[in-house]
Amino acid sequence: MKPITLTIKGLHSFREEQIIDFSSLCDAGVFGIFGPTGSGKSSILDAMTLALYGKVERALNNTHGILNQAEEKLSVSFTFALQKEHHISYKVERAFKRADEMKVRTTLCRLIEISDTQTVLADKASEVNRKIEELLGLTIDDFTRAVVLPQGKFAEFLSLKGADRRQMLQRLFNLEKYGDQLVKRLRAKAQNQYGQKNELLAELNGLGEAGPEALAQAKEAAKQAKAIFHEKKQMRDEALTAFTKAQAIWQYQKELEAYETEQNKLNLLAPTMEEKKTQLNIAEQAETLKPYADALTKAEKQLSQASKEKQEAEKQLLHQRTIYEQMTQEYERARQTKIETEPALLQKKEQLIQLKEIERKKEAALQEKTGLEQQKNEKAQQLIQKKAEAENLQSLLERALTKQTQLKRELEPLQVSVKERKSVQEALRLSENVQRINQNIQKEEQKIGELKKRSSQAAEAYEKLQKQQKDHHEKIDQSFQAIEQLYFYVCEFERALTEWSKREQNQKLEKLKQRDAVRAAELRKELAAELVDGEPCPVCGSIHHDPKAAIANDHEETVTQIDEVIHRIDKELKQAEEYARDMYAAKQLLETYANQLVKQFAFLSQKAPGAEVAAAVEAVQNPQSLQHLIQEWKAMKQDIQEVERKRARLMDETRDQAAEMNKMEDQLTFEQQRIQELEVLIKELQSELSEQTTQFEQAFPHFILSQVQEMQKQIDEKDQQAEGYKERIEKSISFLEEKQQIKEQLQTTTYDLEKELDKLAHQLESQQQLIRQYETDIGRYPLKVASISDELIEVEQSLSHLNEKEQQSYQQLKHTQQLFSEAQSHFSSSERQLQEANQRKQEAEAAWQKETETSPFHKPQEIESAFMDRAVRHTVKQEIEEFEDKRKQCAANLKRISELLKEESLDEEQWTEVQSRKEAAEKALEEATVMSGSAHEHLRVIEENHQRFASIHERLEGLQQEIDRLDKLQTVFKGNTFVEFLAEEQLESVSRDASARLGILTRQRYAIEVDSEGGFVMRDDANGGVRRPVSSLSGGETFLTSLALALALSAQIQLRGEFPLQFFFLDEGFGTLDQDLLDTVITALEKLQSQNLAVGVISHVEELKMRLPKKLIVHPADPSGKGTTVSMELM
């Protein structure tokens, strides 16, 4: 990484924007950064880290107090390149804005890649930070350690002893993660594995019987249940076959009864069906004659109706002829009246219309006259009003001009000169700085008081926690003793169970021997009973037999009884094996708990088992029976569970307590550090206060600091009063201008009103003459009524009445004429219809007589009584057919059922018995099905549990192996041996690199080595490789050695990044060096020059400044308010 440019504005003492061109500075290899103490040299590095990482390491919370007190904004920009041969550079920009007195907030943050074009790689703070770390491969801590070689640190590092040097190496290279952090991770991993193991053991206990024996038993039970199921299924099938046959017979019997009942019902309906057949036959004959009967009846009705209609038409014709003759005479009279009267009325109407128009014009002229008079009066009133307003306005203008002149005279003494104002403002700024610094000092002192108070409270709380921890350790000790005691109890239970098992095994062996003896005796008895005197024994061949051998022996126990005892012993031994496994698991669990406590609490490792062991041994000796031992063991398991609950609770409390203590320790450390930071800040503020006070006294010797605000207040009051006067004067100017305009408008308005009044007077005279002419014209015509309109209405009504009467008479005449014609046509039509109706009646009578000659009907009325509707006849016919079909179907069904029964029968009792047998078989099958399903489900659960059982055992073995490895690792990493080893390795690597660099600086005269105790020694190759301690080095030799060591450490830290840092700052104390040593320093620095490395020397020594060819001069801030500035000097 090679720096190009750095831009700073508003950071610490920098106010105006300052640009540092590192490209020019780094060309010579070595350059200097010079300036007096406090000028802002270190702020250049702060600007670099702020631009890259957004942090200033020496600032509180990395950003508090970094903004210049006189500024509201801060901005930094840093341009750099990663590899010189690549024409790509990067520019990172950040801008901040004040949030309060101490804090700032980010307003701009972006990273730009510069090549032929500019590309924004990131524009958010978090993204920029991540991208910078990706590009450089260094965190801010790595960057600052690699770029800055601080004053005196490496000379001190050279003389440190082994342990202190290793601690410094640990801080430089972040080796802490291989110490406590690694141990914590191992401990956490081990606790996690122990927790998994305990969970698996608990799950194993929760599985219950899941071993191979339980699996075999479950398989056998499922097999038996399946066999029972098949047996019950066969019985059910047989019962179902018998039920099916009996059910068919029973149903046939029920059907036969139903058909016989139906046949009886049909026999009862037979007479009714015969009667319906007869009615249906008569109805069919009536349907054939019905058209003739209907035709005759209809013809008779039509003849009667036609006769009535002819009489009515004749009567109506006479009536309409009379009305027509009357309406003809009335129409002639109305027409004659209209001809005689209408001409005179039309002439009169025309005259009245002309008079009405004249009257309308007269009214319009009168209204026009009234409007003109009203306008004339209004304009006259307006003229008077405007003249009065003009007089008042003239008086007001005179008073306003007088007041304006007075305000201008009063404004003159309130004016403040620019010079006076600027001096007071600058003095006020300095006094406000002093006041602000005083307030900041008070705030920080108050914060220190609060922090000390909180620190004291935290210390008291920490002591209380330590006391609680001591009490807690006693509880843990008690829990540990309880676990040990339970462990020995479990061991004694195992021993007692083992002894009991041995006794039972011995008893079983005795019973087996006893059973063999009883069986042998019974065989001898059976053999003796079959022996016959004189015949050889099949066993011994003797022909003489003891008669006592055939006598039955009374044994205490039979073989069956002995077998029962042996079976009981086997069962109890099997149960004892299960409890032995349970005890072994409990013992392992207690051992795990104890180991966890010992590993976590070192003070327990010194404890030894107490006297409770003897009591535990006595408590479980010689159990009366297995059941007694099991009862005691179950009680013991309750105790184990209770101890585990207490242990788990104590472990949780331990973790909480440790976390609380760590939190308290962190709080105490933070508060102490914060107090120290605030004390340093107060000293800086006090120094700044002194500087600001001195600056004020020098700049304004005639001002008193405490009175500056009062002076500014007086100026502000004058300004405020002057502003008031200025505003009033400005208002008066606009007021006078406005009133002058109003005055001119009033004059124009008055002139216009006078002209309009003259015009209105002439218009009134013209209207008066026109009205008099209209009145003369109207007076020439005499009127019968009061008004022309009323008389015109009367004439129009008379004309309308004549027309309406003639038109009405004409319409009535036309209507009566039409009615008379219609009556004539109706009469002719009725005569014709009567003749036709008579003809139809004669024809219908002839047809009826012809068709009824051979039928039983004589009158049309008889046809109506015998007639049936077609739908009714169809229904009756269908009913008869259905009746016949039912009789046939019923006979066929009776025959079919009789053939199916084949003379078989079944009574109620037999049918009930068959149903009962079928239900019993189905119920038995259902129970067998449930039993089989339950057995197979149990087998499935056992198989799953067995698989889990095997899986848990396999996982437990793997966990135990990993736990053993973790225990070994925890033992290996106890203490800081591994960290010390890494520190020694880093020290060897650094010393080799430093030795090579020192050889270059001293022309291979000196070299650095590490002795057996981890300390540095110098090898003087110019004197035959003599080794001497570093304490014997001169000032110049110490500087050269420290410089070589610093360069080696910087290079080692840079190895973490992807690209090397091609520069660093050397902030060493050169002020204590004499001229000769200074020459040595300059010579050594000049030897560092190369294309890939630039060294910036930060100093205030003038001699060193004169020797370096390129220098960056840092000018301190000016008391007048100007910030720190930089300039470049080239030789």
What tens digit of pLDDT does each residue of 418-470 get? 777 778 877 887 888 888 888 888 888 888 888 888 888 888 888 888 888 78
SS3 label, residue 626: helix
- For residue 1029, being part of any structural domain is answered with yes
Residue 620's pLDDT band (cuts 50, 70, 90): low
Taking 70 as the threshold, does the pLDDT of residue 154 lie above it? no
The confidence score (pLDDT) of residue 112 equals 93
Is residue 950 a part of any domain in this protein? Answer: yes
Same domain (yes/no): 174, 108: no
Tell whether 1022 and 1064 lie within a shared domain: no
Asked if residue 172 and residue 95 are part of one domain, the reply reads: no
Tokens of 794: 């009367």
Phi/psi at 3 (5° precision): -75, 145
378 or 1059, which is more confident?
378
Are 145 and 1051 in contact by the 8 Å Cβ rule? The answer is: no
Helix (H) or strand (E) holding 100: none
| C-alpha span between 394 and 384 (Å, rounded) | 16
The parent domain of residue 1039 ranges over: 159-179+975-1056
pLDDT score recorded for residue 7: 96
| Whether the Cβ atoms of residue 1031 and residue 1016 lie closer than 8 Å to each other | no
Joined together, the tokens standing for residue 381 give 């009133």
The percentage of the chain sitting over the pLDDT mark of 90, rounded to a whole number, equals: 5
Same domain, 991 and 1090: no
Cα-flanking dihedrals φ and ψ of residue 1061, to 5°? -85, 120
96, 7: one domain: yes
- What is d(CA 1071, CA 1078) in angstroms, rounded to the nearest whole number? 9
Q: Minimal CA–CA distance to 938: which of 224, 234, 202, 203? A: 224
* pLDDT band at residue 1087 under the 50/70/90 scheme: low
- At 891-919, the pLDDT tens digits run 888 888 887 877 777 788 888 888 888 88
For residues 809 and 6, which has the higher predicted lDDT (pLDDT)? Answer: 6
**Whole-angstrom distance, CA of residue 969 vs CA of residue 625:** 47
Contact between 316 and 829 (Cβ < 8 Å): no
What is the spatial distance between Cα 400 and Cα 639, in angstroms, rounded to a whole number?
A: 109
CA 56 to chain centroid, in Å, comes to 37
For residue range 693-726, list pLDDT tens digits in order.
Answer: 888 888 788 888 778 788 878 888 877 888 887 7
- Residue range 560-573: average pLDDT? 83
Here the tokens at position 323 are: 């009305």
Tell me the mean pLDDT in the region 1021-1047. 77
Residue 128 sits in a domain whose CATH number is 3.40.50.300
Confidence label for 613 from pLDDT (cuts 50, 70 and 90): very low
What is the average per-residue pLDDT within 626-650?
Answer: 80
931-981 per-position pLDDT tens digit: 777 778 777 877 877 788 788 888 888 888 888 888 788 777 766 677 777
The neighbouring-strand residues paired with 19 are 7
CA distance 490 to 506: 24
Listed residue (513, 544, 546) closest to 528, CA to CA: 546
Residue 493: partners with Cβ closer than 8 Å, 6 or more residues away: 583, 620, 629, 632, 633, 636
Are residues 9 and 118 both part of a single domain?
A: yes
Reply yes or no on whether the pLDDT at 580 is more than 70. Answer: yes
Total structural domains within the chain = 3
Last residue of one domain, picked from the residues 972, 1007, 1025: 972
Pair (5, 126) in one structural domain: yes
Query: Is pLDDT larger for residue 163 or for residue 118?
Result: 118
Residues 6+ apart with CB under 8 A from 1103: 1075, 1078
1110 strand-pairing partners: 1130
DSSP notation for 586-610: HHHHHHHHHHHHHHH-GGGGG----
Domain C-terminal end among 991, 1025, 1056: 1056
DSSP tally for the chain: helices H, then strands E: 21, 15
pLDDT digits (tens, 9 = 90+) for 720-758: 888 887 788 878 887 887 878 888 888 888 888 888 888
Is the pLDDT assigned to residue 687 strictly greater than 60? Answer: yes
Mean pLDDT of 93-101: 89
Residues 1025 and 1122 reside in one and the same domain: no
- pTM for the full predicted model: 0.36
Cα gap 397→407, rounded to integer Å: 16
CA–CA distance, 975 with 180 (Å, rounded to integer):
9
pLDDT tens string 286-310: 777 777 777 777 887 888 888 888 8
Distance CA 826, CA 846 (A): 31
Establish if 40 belongs to a structural domain. Answer: yes
DSSP string, 1092-1110: TBEEEEEE--HHHHHH-SE
DSSP string, 418-484: HHHHHHHHHHHHHHHHHHHHHHHHHHHHHHHHHHHHHHHHHHHHHHHHHHHHHHHHHHHHHHHHHHH
Query: In the β-sheet with 148-149, what is the strand arrangement from edge to edge?
Result: 148-149, 1063-1066, 1094-1099, 30-34, 1110-1115, 1125-1130
763 in any annotated domain: no
* Positive/negative CA dihedral, 516, 522, 526, 527: positive
| Mean residue pLDDT across the chain | 79
Does residue 949 form part of some domain? yes
Predicted confidence at residue 91, as pLDDT, reads 94
Tell whether 1023 and 1075 lie within a shared domain. Answer: no
CB atoms within 10 A of CB 1054: 22
The predicted model gives 36-61 an average pLDDT of 85
Inside any domain, residue 930? yes
Based on the number of CB atoms within 10 Å of its own CB, is 397 exposed (0-12), middle (13-18) or buried (19 or more)?
A: middle
Same domain, 953 and 1018: no
Domain end residue (candidates: 1056, 1086, 1102)? 1056
Query: Does residue 968 belong to any structural domain of this protein?
Result: yes
Burial code (b: 16+ CB inside 10 Å, e: under 16) for 266-297 equals: beeeeeebeeeeeebeebeebbebbebbebbb
Whether the predicted pLDDT of 107 surpasses 80: yes
Q: Are 94 and 108 in contact (CB under 8 A)?
A: yes
User: What is the Cα–Cα distance from 696 to 105, expressed in whole angstroms?
Assistant: 32
Share of the chain above pLDDT 70, in %: 86
Q: Which residue, among 695, 64, 738, has the nearest Cα to 434 in the 3D structure?
A: 695
Q: Which amino acid, one-letter code, is at 518?
A: V
Distance CA 1097, CA 1105 (A): 10
Q: Using 50, 70 and 90 to split pLDDT, how confident is the model at 1125?
A: very high
When mean pLDDT is compared across 127-136, 157-166, 484-493, the lowest value belongs to: 157-166
State yes or no: pLDDT of 113 exceeds 60: yes
122 belongs to a structural domain: yes
> Are 961 and 937 in the same domain?
yes
Q: How confident is the model at residue 536 (pLDDT cuts 50, 70, 90)?
A: low
Q: Helix 1035-1054 vs helix 977-1001: angle between axes, to the nearest 10 degrees?
A: 120
| Whether the Cβ atoms of residue 338 and residue 859 lie closer than 8 Å to each other | no
pLDDT of residue 151: 46
Q: What is the per-residue pLDDT for 8?
A: 94
Q: Which of 520, 523, 636 minimizes the C-alpha distance to 589?
A: 636
d(C-alpha 837, C-alpha 839), whole Å: 5
Mean pLDDT of 994-1005: 82
Residue 455 to residue 457: CA distance in whole angstroms: 5
Q: Lowest mean pLDDT of 443-447, 529-533, 630-634, 1062-1066, name the range.
A: 529-533
For residue 128, the model assigns a pLDDT of 93
Same domain flag for 1026 and 995: yes
